[in-house]
Structure 1
Amino acid sequence: MDFQMAEKKVKELQNLLNQYNYEYHVLDQPSVSDAEYDQLMRELSELEKRYPELKTFESPTQRVGGEVLDMFEKVQHQSQMLSLSNAFNEQDLMDFDRRIRQLVGDDFSYVCELKIDGLAISLRYEQGLFVLGATRGDGSTGENITANLRTIRSIPLRLKQEVTLEVRGEAFMPRRSFEAMNKQRMEKGEEVFANPRNAAAGSLRQLDPRIAASRNLDIFLYNITNTGETEIESHSEALDFLDTLGFKTNKERRKCENIQEVIEYVQKWTNERPNLPYDIDGIVIKVDSLDQQQELGATAKSPRWAIAYKFPAEEVITTLKGIELSIGRTGVVTPTAILDPVRVAGTTVQRASLHNEDLIREKDIKIGDQVVVKKAGDIIPEVVNVLADRRTGEEVEFHMPTHCPECESDLVRLDGEVALRCLNPKCPAQIREGLIHFVSRNAMNIDGLGEKVVGQLFSENLIQDVADLYKLTYEQLIKLERMGEKSVNNLLEAIEASKQNSLEKLLFGLGIRHVGEKAAKTLAQTFDTLENLHTATHEQLTAINEIGEKMADSIVTFFEMEEVKELIHELKAAGVNMVYKGPKPVSAENAESIFAGKTIVLTGKLEKLTRNDAKERIEALGGKIAGSVSKKTDIVIAGEDAGSKLTKAQELGIDIWNEERLVEELID
Structure 2
Amino acid sequence: MAEKSVNSLSEDEARAELAELAQKIGAANKAYHTEDAPEISDAEYDRLKRRNAAIEAQFPALKRADSPSEQVGGAPAEGFAKVRHRVRMLSLANAFDDDDILEFDASIRRFLGLTAEAPLAYTAEPKIDGLSLSLRYEDGVLTQAATRGDGAEGENVTANARTIHDIPETLKGAPRILEVRGEVYMSHEDFAALNERQAARGAKTFANPRNAAAGSLRQLDSTITRDRPLRFFAYSWGELSEPLADTQMAAIERLNTLGFQTNPLTVRCEGPQEMLAHYARIEEQRATLGYDIDGVVYKVDALELQRRLGFRSTTPRWAIAHKFPAELAWTRLESIDIQVGRTGALSPVARLTPVTVGGVVVSNATLHNEDYIAGRDSNGNPIRDGKDIRVGDWVQVYRAGDVIPKVADVDLSKRPDDAQPYDFPTTCPECGSDAIREEGDAVRRCTGGLICPAQAVEKLKHFVSRAAFDIEGLGAKQVEQFYRDGWIREPADIFTLRDRFGQGLQQLRNREGWGEKSAENLFAAIDERRRIPLGRLIFALGIRHVGENASNLFARSYGTWEAFEEAVTAAGAQEGAAWDNLLAIDGVGTVMAQSLVSAFAQEAERASIDRLVHYLDVQPAERPQTDGSPVAGKTVVFTGTLERMTRAEAKARAEALGAKVSGSVSAKTDIVVAGPGAGSKEKKARELGLEVLDEDAWLALIGA
Shorter-chain TM-score range = 0.7 to 0.9
Q: How does 1:74-473 map to 2 (within 5 A)?
A: 74-102=82-110, 103=112, 104-105=114-115, 106-163=118-175, 164-187=177-200, 189-225=202-238, 229-230=242-243, 232-362=245-375, 363-377=387-401, 379-425=403-449, 426-472=451-497, 473=504
Looking at structure 2, the residues matched to 258 and 619 of structure 1 have their Cα atoms a distance apart, in angstroms, of: 28
Partner Cα distance (1:491, 1:187) in 2: 40
The CA deviation string for residues 537-596 of structure 1, in whole angstroms up to 9 with x for no partner, is 22242232232222222222222333334333433443x222324126989x97556999
- Contact 1:224-1:238 within 8 A present in 2 as well: no
Secondary structure at the aligned position of 2:405 is classed as: strand
User: Do the aligned partners of 2:437 and 2:444 also contact (CA within 8 Å) in 1?
Assistant: yes
**Cα shift readout 1:446-475 (whole Å, capped 9, x = no counterpart):** 223232222222222221111222233333
Amino acid in structure 2 at the alignment position of 1:534? E
Q: Indicate which of 71, 75, 82 corresponds to 2:79.
A: 71
Distance 1:246 1:584 in 2: 34
Say if 1:583 and 1:620, in contact at 8 Å, map to a contact too: no
SS of 2:483's equivalent? helix
Using the size of structure 2 for normalisation, the TM-score is 0.71
After superposition, the Cα gap between the structure-2 partners of 1:253 and 1:245, relative to the gap in structure 1 and judged at 3 Å, is same
Q: Are 2:141 and 2:170, in contact at CA under 8 Å, matched by a contact in 1?
A: yes
Q: 2:619 aligns with which of 579, 601, 623?
A: 579
Q: How far, CA to CA, are the matches of 1:620 and 1:90 in structure 2?
A: 36
Give deviations 1:36-95, integer Å, cap 9, x for gaps.
xxxxxxxxxxxxxxxxxxxxxxxxxxxxxxxxx953333222222221111111221222
Q: 1:521 to 1:322 in 2, by over 3 A?
A: same
- Matched to 1:506, the amino acid is L
RMSD: 3.0
For the Cα contact (< 8 Å) 1:409–1:422, is it kept in 2?
Answer: yes
Structure 1 equivalent of residue 608 of structure 2: 567
Compute the displacement of 1:249 (Å). 1.0
Structure 1 residue 162: deviation in Å?
A: 4.8
Give the conservation status (yes or no) of the 8 Å contact 2:631–2:659. no
What letter corresponds to residue 277 of structure 1 in structure 2? G
Distance 2:511 2:421 in 1: 42
1:590 and 1:414 map into 2 onto residues whose CA distance is: 48
Following superposition, the deviation at residue 266 of structure 1 comes to 1.0
Q: How many angstroms does 1:109 deviate by?
A: 1.5
Distance 1:547 1:594, change over 3 A: closer
TM superposition shift of 1:155: 0.8
| Distance of aligned partners of 1:447 and 1:186 in 2 relative to their CA distance in 1, 3 Å threshold | farther
The one-letter code sitting in structure 2 at the alignment partner of 1:560 is A
CA distance in 2, matches of 1:350, 1:189: 26
Name the amino acid aligned to 2:452.
C
Higher alpha-carbon deviation: 419-428 or 96-105: 96-105
Matching residue's letter, 1:380? I
Q: 2:523 aligns to what?
A: 492
Q: Tell me the SS of whatever aligns to 1:409.
A: coil
Partner deviation per Cα, 1:130-163 (whole Å, 9 max, x = no partner):
1111121222222222222222121111112252
Q: Which moved more, 1:304-313 or 1:563-572?
A: 563-572
Question: Measured at CA, do residues 593 and 399 of structure 1 come closer, stay the same or move farther in structure 2, by a change above 3 Å?
Answer: closer
- Distance change (3 Å), C-alpha of 1:490 and 1:279: farther
Change in 2 beyond 3 A, CA 1:211/1:563: farther
Deviation, 1:483, is: 2.4
Q: 1:478 aligns with which of 478, 487, 509?
A: 509
Structure 1 SS opposite 2:335: strand
2:350 is paired with a residue whose SS is strand
C-alpha displacement of 1:286 = 1.2
Unpaired runs of 5+ in structure 2? Answer: 1-76, 376-386, 498-503, 572-578, 637-654, 661-698
Secondary structure of the 1:366 match is coil
- Counterpart for residue 590 of structure 2: 549
Residue identity opposite 1:128 in structure 2: G
What SS does structure 2 have at the residue aligned with 1:240?
A: helix
Change (3 A) 1:619 1:519: closer
TM-score by length of 1: 0.75
Q: Deviations over 1:192-246 (max 9, x none)?
A: 4332222222222333323322222111110123566146110010011001111
Decide whether the 8 Å contact of 1:525 with 1:584 is kept in 2. no
Would the aligned equivalents of 1:174 and 1:279 in 2 still touch at CA under 8 Å?
yes
**Is the Cα–Cα contact under 8 Å of residues 129 and 293 in structure 2 kept in the other structure?**
yes
Measure the CA separation in 1 of the matches of 2:424 and 2:439. 18
Farther off after superposition, 297-306 or 424-433: 297-306
Aligned residues: 539
Counterpart of 2:622 in structure 1: which amino acid? G
Instruction: State the partner residue of 1:635.
Output: none
User: Structure 1 199/450 Cα, relative in aligned 2: closer, same or farther at 3 Å?
Assistant: farther
The question of whether the paired residues in 2 share the 8 Å contact of 1:123 and 1:134 is answered with yes
After superposition, the Cα gap between the structure-2 partners of 1:250 and 1:489, relative to the gap in structure 1 and judged at 3 Å, is farther
Q: Report if the CA contact (8 A) 2:178-2:241 is conserved.
A: no
Contact 2:244 2:251 in 1 (8 A): no
- Tell me the CA shift for residue 620 of structure 1: 8.4
- 1:521 partner amino acid: N
Change (3 A) 1:586 1:255: closer
Matches within 5 A, 1:497-516: 497-516=528-547
* Amino acid in the other structure paired with 1:88: F
**1:600 maps to what in 2?**
none
Gapped runs of 5+ residues in structure 1? 1-68, 598-617, 624-654, 657-661, 663-668
